């Protein structure tokens, strides 16, 4: 993944340009711009539109990457409490808190609205998959029984994103209940 490399490479011109583009997207989304184009984003970021056309297939892909970048900066490491129940519970509440922020809700709706056909690449899901896999690996190493990564995605991640995209209320108690529910599937 070229994008992941670019976002993790520290310092340098390329990472400054990328940061400017992400900031521009964030500002435009926050202002409620509903027709996002590469020239518009480039103008705001003060970069040449060619940079954008070269790096991303379309605006949707850039939008998603920006959301993932924002997430990565914010969260970083996944919880490591010593038990899978503690980790999943804390992780679920972090997701709930994160995706209910107005700017994130806007990103998610813009992302969903922009998708037409089935996607083969969904950065949000991929990022959550990596995080879940990491917590499950640690729990297994401790000798705990674990659900599958797919179950964690279906039963913790999906219900939270469902509620946010459908504009239904999400709270931390609900997030913790989802973590308990998926753990009941281990037996």
Residues at the site binding a copy of itself, with contacts judged by CB under 8 A: 109, 111-113, 115-119, 122, 124-125, 151, 154-155, 157-159, 161-163, 165-169, 178, 181, 184-185, 187
Q: Are 155 and 182 in contact (CB under 8 A)?
A: yes
Nearer to a copy of itself, 34 or 140 (CB): 34
Residue 150, φ and ψ in degrees, nearest 5: -60, -40
Nearer to a copy of itself, 10 or 102 (CB): 102
Nearer to a copy of itself, 111 or 136 (CB): 111
Nearer to a copy of itself, 60 or 134 (CB): 60
Q: Is 81 helix (H, G, I), strand (E, B) or coil?
A: coil
With a CB cutoff of 8 Å and minimum separation 6, the contacts of 6 are: 14, 15, 18, 55
Q: Are 107 and 114 in contact (CB under 8 A)?
A: no
Q: C-beta of 126: minimal distance to a copy of itself in Å?
A: 11
Nearer to a copy of itself, 51 or 129 (CB): 129
Token representation of residue 36: 């996002």
Handedness of CA 99, 101, 103, 105 (dihedral sign): positive
Least Cα distance to 110 among 3, 30, 50, 52 occurs for 30
Nearer to a copy of itself, 43 or 150 (CB): 150
Q: C-beta of 59: minimal distance to a copy of itself in Å?
A: 15
Q: CA-CA-CA-CA torsion for 3, 60, 168, 70, nearest 10 degrees?
A: 30
Q: C-beta of 169: minimal distance to a copy of itself in Å?
A: 6
Token representation of residue 140: 């297994």
Count CB-CB contacts under 10 A for residue 107: 24
């Amino acid at each position: 993944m070229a994008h992941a490399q670019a976002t993790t490479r520290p310092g340098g011109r390329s990472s400054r340009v990328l940061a400017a583009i992400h900031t521009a997207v964030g500002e435009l989304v926050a202002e409620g711009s509903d027709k996002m184009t590469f020239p518009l984003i480039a103008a705001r970021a003060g970069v040449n539109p060619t940079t954008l056309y070269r790096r991303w297939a379309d605006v949707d892909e850039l939008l998603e990457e920006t959301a993932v970048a924002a997430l990565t900066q914010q969260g970083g490491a996944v919880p490591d409490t010593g038990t899978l129940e503690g980790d999943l519970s804390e992780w679920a509440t972090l997701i709930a808190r994160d995706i209910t922020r107005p700017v994130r809700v806007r990103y998610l709706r813009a992302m969903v609205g922009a998708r037409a056909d089935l996607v083969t690449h969904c950065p949000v899901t991929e990022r959550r998959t990596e995080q879940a896999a990491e917590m499950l690996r640690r729990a297994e190493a401790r000798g705990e029984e674990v659900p599958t990564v797919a179950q964690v995605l279906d039963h913790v991640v999906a219900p939270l994103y469902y509620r946010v995209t459908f504009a239904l209320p999400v709270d931390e108690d609900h997030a913790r209940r989802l973590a308990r529910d998926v753990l009941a599937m281990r037996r």
